[in-house]
């Protein structure tokens, strides 16, 4: 089983995520994918992932600005597929644009987190999100 799929193209952001996760008392399992196109292929088991038995995540954290297909495209395509329709999808972006937030929710995002500026704030936000989505939320893939 895979706890978190983090879709993020910024290597520095991915490294911060890895550090935060490694410092948790019980670190969840995770996979980082660096493009929207690859994330869609992974989640929908198509393209290079066709025919593979891949672990489905209990939570998807998705940035909006990605190479290939955007985070919006990821949300839209995952929500359009019967197998992944109810998978928890949380936008984790630097964008605080109300237009981006509205669009993400219209497409089916479950939550929208704005990346904070400091490491301490990022650590706290990720820790709280993991606590809710992996412990208190009862989604099972």
Joined together, the tokens standing for residue 102 give 């509205």
Q: Which residues of 29-53 are buried (b: 16+ CB within 10 A; e: fewer)?
A: ebebbbbbbbbbbbbbbeeeeeeee
For residue 8, the model assigns a pLDDT of 98
Whether pLDDT at 140 is above 80: no
How many Å apart are CA 27 and CA 30, to the nearest integer?
A: 9
Per-residue pLDDT, averaged over 18-43, amounts to: 96
Q: Residues 69-91: pLDDT tens digits? A: 999 999 999 999 999 999 999 99
**Tens digits of residue pLDDT in 90-131:** 999 999 999 999 999 999 999 999 999 899 999 999 999 999
Contacts of residue 59, Cβ cutoff 8 Å, sequence gap at least 6: 3, 4, 5, 88, 90, 129, 130, 133, 134, 139
Class of domain 2-136 (CATH, top level): alpha beta
Q: Where are the domains of the chain?
A: 2-136
- Residues near 122 by beta carbon (within 8 Å), at least 6 away in sequence: 16, 20, 115, 116
Indicate the pTM of the whole model.
0.94
């Amino acid at each position: 089983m895979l706890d978190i799929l983090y879709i993020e193209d910024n290597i520095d952001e991915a490294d911060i995520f890895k550090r935060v996760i490694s410092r948790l008392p019980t670190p969840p399992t995770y996979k980082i994918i660096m493009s929207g196109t690859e994330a869609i292929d992974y989640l929908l088991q198509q393209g290079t992932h066709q025919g593979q038995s891949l672990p489905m995540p209990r939570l998807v954290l998705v940035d909006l600005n990605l190479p290939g297909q955007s985070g919006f495209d990821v949300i839209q395509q995952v929500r359009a597929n019967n197998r992944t329709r109810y998978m928890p999808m949380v936008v984790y972006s630097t964008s605080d644009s109300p237009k981006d937030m509205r669009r993400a929710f219209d497409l089916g995002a479950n939550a929208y987190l704005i990346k904070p500026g400091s490491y301490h704030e990022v650590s706290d936000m990720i820790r709280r999100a993991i606590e809710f989505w992996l412990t208190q939320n009862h989604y099972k893939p």
